[in-house]
Structure 1
């Protein structure tokens, strides 16, 4: 069996036709009408998901709840981000020589395989000291009440 990193590297050299065939092999369904780049990304996602595991049951439940709300009302409301940051956004901050990535969800933040209800909790986790989360991540300047 080919190692994951070799499979991922091979995707970059495949033609559109080869990517469509690979999509069929990996997903067992015809490829959607996507560009070669998006096909490669979709295949890479599935290969990594198989190798490292997919979303946790908690994240799948959260996604199902949001889908149900979206289907019922046409929108998903949340007060966690207060409209400042769109869900799906990634916040990046370098600290102590390490780059930290936070994924913004509808009702929480995802950092290092854990969910947090505030950026302040994540800033404390990273620095070991109390910080305003929005200020630590550069979303608010010192003394500013709004982002």
Structure 2
């Protein structure tokens, strides 16, 4: 049996036709029309996922968000430094009322509805454009300090 390290090393010297065959075996789909370097990287990533596990749901969502931004604007911008665990509750007081947001695996829940971003929720609460992370006190520049509670 070949070790993961040996399989990764073997990828580096494989010709493109063999890489395409390994791609088919690994992904159960035909290889995309990309160069050998990208094929190697894709196969290596999948092999490493099998050993170490894949990306978290939050990271996958961030990659998808960046992919859509690149599609729309041609630029990716920066990944958010904020990472919230599913089940975390954000609490924010605004104009004398307390608002609760639940962090879900695929976004946020507020007032019984699902939202893709905290900024959409902040706009819903205030009626104005806000940076959601800043509104909920997750950015340093904010003077607001809401409480965040992780379940379990």
What is the TM-score of this pair, normalised by structure 2? 0.45
What is the TM-score of this pair, normalised by structure 1? 0.47
Higher relative contact order (CA 8 A, sep 6+): 2
Which structure has the greater CA radius of gyration? 2
